[in-house]
Amino acid sequence: MRIEISESTRMAFDSLRQHKARSLLTVLGVVIGIMAMVAVASIMVGLDRDIRGFLDQYGTDTLFVFRWDFGFRGTLTAEERTRKTLTYEDTMAIRDECPDVKDVTVEISPRVEPGKPFTVVPARYKRNEVYGIQFTGTIPSYEWVYNANPEKGRFFTEAENLHHMDVAVIGHDLAEGLFHAEDPLDKPIEIGGAFYRVVGVLEKRKGQLFKDESADKVVVVPYWAYRKHNPQDDEHFIGAQASPGRKAQAEDEIIGLLRRRRHVAAAKPNDFAISSSEELARQFRQITGAIAIAVVVISSIGLLIGGVGVMNIMLMSVTERTREIGVRKAIGARRRDIVRQFLTEAITLTGAGGIIGVSLGMGISFLINKLLPSLPSAVPLWSVIAAVTASMSVGLFFGIYPAIKASRLNPVEALRYE
């Protein structure tokens, strides 16, 4: 059995070498379909790892509370647009009245108006300016709730917050953009006409594409210092860290507390949103899953076209090799031997196309990582195995009819064929 399969495989490769151009054109649809599947799978897996790495830094026990759901979603409803903002007092109530909340923090920023552009406020140091920053006021617990570890210096203290001191902790990219090789500690930066002394620089966040573009260009200052310079701002974003293993209980406690504080009737839904890194990752996977299904459907069309081409070329091969089939049957070859031979050739043909498609897909993934480092890409082993298996399955399915037709040839008539 092994000798027969080995011999059939050798004959299949001989056929490929003798008709290189014809074989390549035959499996071109398979190559394109497999290439697309591997390339898209590598991008989807890379994006999933990227966003998981970014969100996991905030901790699996961290809950995010805002006026509306800020995940991967569409347009806000009219009710969501008119919701009142959360408050500093809400944050303190969560800290004091929710026993399963380990710690809580809050950020204050300009009011977010759906459909309106954000106010662009640059950070300045001497003649250097950096735009696209995320400037917020917060409390010292920000460091522990969000795992915002200083790479240099320190985080500001509760005393500095209570005394409205103008100090700041800045992100890694912002430090490089403003100060270059200069040490940023104890240097003044200007934001919105106010000057803040830099006391710390945060570690660079993981993730490349699906982090907010300003995630490493943050400027966080004490909450009360921010209010001193920006009394008109009232948008609050709350982060709550649940006690280990108590995230569901902490979420229920926060929902119940905020519903009471915001006077939400029992029959009405929440007028705020609460989510976690796991929820955001789940929403992302739903989106990428839908994209992956669409790509698989499109790639399947390529495989179908390739399969039809394989069937056509195998039927031609049966006609071209009628005398050879007659000779083989005349010297004792059985029908199953002929079937095995032609199926092996078809599988080898599409398998070779699958390998070429996988190689091109991996090449695309490599080029993406080199030319577009912000678009993560990683080829998973399962996609390679699935792609090669799918390509060989196409050869098996579309090679059955030509193989059976070859096996049914009458040896006497086949030997007479010219």
Asked if residue 212 and residue 310 are part of one domain, the reply reads: no
Helix (H) or strand (E) holding 167: strand 167-170
Contact 226, 137 (CB under 8 A): yes
In a domain, 300, yes or no: yes
Rounded Cα–Cα distance for residues 143 and 113 (Å): 27
The pair phi, psi for residue 206, each rounded to 5°, is -75, 165
Residues 403, 295 share a domain: yes
Residue 403 and residue 311 share a domain: yes
Q: What is the mean pLDDT of the chain?
A: 83
Query: Quick one: which of 172, 173, 170, 183 has its CA closest to 135?
Result: 170
Across-strand partners of 317? none
Mean pLDDT for the stretch of residues 201-214: 66
pLDDT at 254: 95
Same domain, 306 and 207: no
Q: Tokens for 70?
A: 């800020």
209 shares its domain with 132: yes
Among 165-169, 216-220, 221-225, 342-346, which stretch is predicted with the lowest mean pLDDT?
342-346
Residues 45 and 116 in one domain: no
Whole-number Å distance between alpha carbons of 97 and 92: 8
Give me the pLDDT at residue 211, please: 47
Is 272 contained in some domain?
A: no
Q: What is the 3-state secondary structure (H, E, C) of 341-387?
A: HHHHHHHHHHHHHHHHHHHHHHHHHHHHHHHCCCCCCCCCHHHHHHH
Q: Is residue 285 in some structural domain?
A: no
Pairwise CA distance, residues 133 & 123, whole Å: 7
Q: Of 181, 198, 232, which residue is a domain's last?
A: 232
- Give which of 164, 159, 137 is closest to 225, Cα–Cα: 164
245 found inside a domain: no
Domain tally, the chain: 2
State residue 80's pLDDT score. Answer: 79
Together in a domain, 412 and 296: yes
Which position has the higher pLDDT, 378 or 225? 225
Q: Is 153 left (phi over 0), alpha (psi -120 to 50) or beta?
A: left
Instruction: Answer whether 221's CB lies under 8 Å from 37's CB.
Output: no
pLDDT at 328: 72
Residue 409 in domain: yes
Same domain for 406 and 297, yes or no, is yes
Contact 256, 101 (CB under 8 A): no
pLDDT tens string 297-356: 877 887 888 888 888 877 777 776 677 777 777 777 777 777 777 788 888 888 888 898
**Residue 169 near residue 150 (C-beta atoms within 8 A):** yes
Is residue 116 located within the same domain as residue 227? Answer: yes
Q: Report the phi/psi class of residue 186: left, alpha or beta, with left for phi > 0 and alpha for psi in -120 to 50.
A: left
List pLDDT tens digits, range 103-149: 999 999 998 876 665 666 889 998 899 988 889 999 999 999 988 88
Phi, psi angles (nearest 5°) of residue 137: -105, 140
Report if residue 262 sits inside a domain: no
Given a contact cutoff of 8 angstroms between Cβ atoms, the answer to whether 202 and 218 are in contact is yes
254 assigned to some structural domain: no
Is the pLDDT higher at 407 or at 152?
Answer: 152
Do residue 125 and residue 42 come from a single domain?
no
| 26 shares its domain with 120 | no
Percentages of the chain per state (helix, strand, coil), in multiples of 5 = 55, 15, 30
- Return the DSSP state at 45: H
Domain that holds residue 176: 112-232
